[in-house]
Amino acid sequence: MPNPAKNEALEAVAVNAARLLRLTRDRALFLEHPNVVHTDRSLAELATRQSLRRAIHNLNRSGNP
């Protein structure tokens, strides 16, 4: 049986993944460095990475197929 809540969550993950894939590996590593002074854009990029990780973690914990 379809699970609308899970489908919405997966769609949100897909949207965030698309945004994340636009970042280069070097840019992503740079954003996670503890000594970086962030701009509004870099904070938004970092938040996207963190929300993607959280969404994937939550989906994995849900245990629903």
Q: What is the mean pLDDT of residues 43-65?
A: 76
Over 80: is that where the pLDDT of 8 sits?
yes
Is residue 17 over pLDDT 80? no
Q: Which residues contact 59 (CB under 8 A, 6 or more apart)?
A: 6, 9, 10, 13
In this predicted structure, the answer to whether residue 12 has a pLDDT above a threshold of 80 is yes
Which residues are CB-contacts of 51 (< 8 A; sequence separation ≥ 6)? 16
Q: To the nearest whole percent, how much of the chain has pLDDT over 90? A: 0
Interval 52-62: pLDDT, tens: 788 878 878 87
The Cα 43–Cα 30 span in angstroms is 12
pLDDT of residue 11 exceeding 80 = yes
Q: What pTM was estimated for this model as a whole?
A: 0.39
